[in-house]
Amino acid sequence: MRILKRTFSLLICILVTFSTLSQHKIRNINAKANELRQTPVIVDVVLYNFQDAFISLVKQSLENIEKQNEGKVNFRFYDSKGNQAIQDEIISTLVNDNADFLLVNLVDTRSTKDITRVFEQRKIPIIFFNREPADIDTIKFYGKSYYVGTNAIEAGTIQAQILINMWNNNRKALDTNNDGILQYIILRGQQNNIEAEERTKSVISTIEKAGIKTSELAQSIANWDRMLARDNISSLFLRYDNKIEAIIANNDEMAIGAIEALQKYGYNLGNPKKTIVVTGIDATPEAQELIKKGFMAGSVLQDPSEMAKAIYTIGLNVFQGNDPLSDTQYKFDDTGIAVRIPYREYLS
């Protein structure tokens, strides 16, 4: 009986070792095959909207990666135009395409399951990025899919710190009516959007935790859009006028729209006595210029080139059969499938 047990244990060890070696060998064969192929790796990039300021910068960064790796990678870009129906149509046409892996920037963050279901039979790697999927578990179950984004709570916290520092160091510029209360307007991204929700909650809670009393004059849904933000602030300015001490926007496009509205009324043109504090998130080149001129108080930098590098590198690793984070300094968060690119403050 003892001999039988030992024999059985030995067989199990041999099988486990063989299985591990086989998987390692397959990964190496895949990687070598990809290194030896003469044609470039083909990557389909499905974007939320070419017109989005941050996404356009990510697109430019991917195009730079292609130029720097001539003949090795070919990105094919598709514009969803901010419309889920258009994105669905694009995805349905790509399922029979010859792409090696996909980079997907969701329109509707609830559509992850529909997209992975389309590609799971072909086992094509999918890297979701920027707009966080509502259903992370779907990505886990697919097995060849990951998410690269940021931490929305961190963005709101850093944005809050810009206002907290101003309150502590130059209070007159922020507490214009000297009542010890910060009267503000929030410009939010889309309704039912995780990113917008978490940025909004964290910026206000962080300000209040710092001991600053707040009063929300209005919260306006502007869908990440400059023109909509400009129109909304134009109306809100007429309603609240000199009561507004700060406009806190979930992204820079909405912050810029707010500044354009204020400038129409003679504000935020360089006169400190006629300036309403405006903060955003992304630190796009245009926002950086407004900050340098003193028209905008500050922003939170989200690095588009780092985002592009991360989604390409991780996608390529998965396609080649390597560990997703091989030869990178990235780390997964506690979900085990999401990489978070850190934010940092931008003031000038």
Which pLDDT score is estimated for 208? 98
Tokens of 282: 């992304």
Reported as a single tens digit per residue, the pLDDT across 74-122 is 999 999 999 999 999 999 999 888 999 999 999 998 889 889 988 888 8
| 23: pLDDT strictly greater than 80 | no
Q: What is the mean pLDDT of residues 241-248?
A: 93
- Return the closest-CA partner of residue 116 out of 139, 146, 89: 139
Reported as a single tens digit per residue, the pLDDT across 28-60 is 434 433 444 578 999 999 999 999 999 999 999
Which pLDDT score is estimated for 37? 56
pLDDT band for position 1 (cuts 50, 70, 90): very low
Counting residues of the chain whose pLDDT is more than 70, the rounded percentage is 89
State the Cα angle at 222 between 175 and 281, rounded to 5°.
Answer: 60
Residue 52 DSSP symbol: S
Domains of the chain: 40-150+304-343 (3.40.50.2300), 152-301 (3.40.50.2300)
Distance from C-alpha of 190 to C-alpha of 250, rounded to nearest angstrom? 10
Q: What is the mean pLDDT of residues 204-221?
A: 98
Q: What is the mean pLDDT of residues 219-225?
A: 96
Whole-prediction pTM: 0.84
Which pLDDT score is estimated for 170? 93
| 25: pLDDT strictly greater than 80 | no
Extended beta strands in 63-144, E state? 73-79, 101-104, 126-129
User: Mean pLDDT lowest for which of 26-35, 47-56, 203-212, 215-224?
Assistant: 26-35
| 69: pLDDT strictly greater than 60 | yes
